[in-house]
Homo-oligomer: A and B are copies of this chain.
């Protein structure tokens, strides 16, 4: 596929499209208009057409989108058909939660191995994923193709472990440590899960609703 530089906002909407299309397909919906897709996603039809137009021509005037075909195309844009491999570093609570509940394969990733320093974990496996010692990490990376590392070490270890990974050729990190790792000069791709950003957006919406309630109550009181 020929790629042009696409804005970050468009890229960030593609996973939402994929989730929605997968859900529609599961529910037996075969065809959808950009209007209806927009309604369900809280986006305008023109926004949706514009987003997809970054990657080619997918819909058909007067017909709309073929749901299974579009799901496949969006999946392909996102790379889910490339068989990317991943390893997980840090089998604590969050690491275990991901190994236990998160379906990597549903999104095209194969989680092949995990690493930890805890002797009680080393040599065991969790949900089918073998756990090895951090001492074996360097050799593993050298000998195996690793497209991405899930970084779930404690935040105090985040920076040194990330540095170690990058030094050893890791080019993409999914960062759960709540520590900023992005270095302006590194070519490593870092995707951060910022729980706090999500919590603060939620906080905003609660505050907004409370203010609306208070304003409404004040108006009612004035009227009486």
Residues in B neighbouring A9, C-beta threshold 8 A = 9
The smallest C-beta distance from A12 to any residue of chain B, in angstroms, reads 6
Is A191 at the interface (CB under 8 A from chain B)? yes
Interface on chain A toward B: helix, strand, loop, or mixed SS?
A: helix
Residues in B neighbouring A15, C-beta threshold 8 A = 194, 196-198, 200-201
Contact B178 A205 (CB under 8 A): no
Is A82 at the interface (CB under 8 A from chain B)? yes
Q: How many copies of this chain does one complex carry?
A: 2
Q: Which of B3, B94, B206 contacts A211 (CB 8 A)?
A: B3
Contact A189 B172 (CB under 8 A): no
> A77, A93, A203, A206: which has the most chain B beta carbons within 10 Å?
A203
Is A163 at the interface (CB under 8 A from chain B)? no
Residues in B neighbouring A211, C-beta threshold 8 A = 1, 3
Residues in B neighbouring A11, C-beta threshold 8 A = 201, 204-205
Number of interface residues, chain A, beta carbon within 8 A: 63
30 contacts between A and B (CB under 8 A): A14-B200, A14-B204, A15-B197, A15-B201, A16-B197, A19-B194, A78-B204, A79-B204, A79-B206, A82-B210, A84-B203, A92-B97, A93-B93, A93-B96, A93-B101, A101-B154, A101-B155, A106-B196, A107-B196, A107-B200, A107-B203, A108-B203, A147-B206, A148-B206, A171-B206, A172-B205, A174-B198, A174-B202, A189-B209, A191-B201
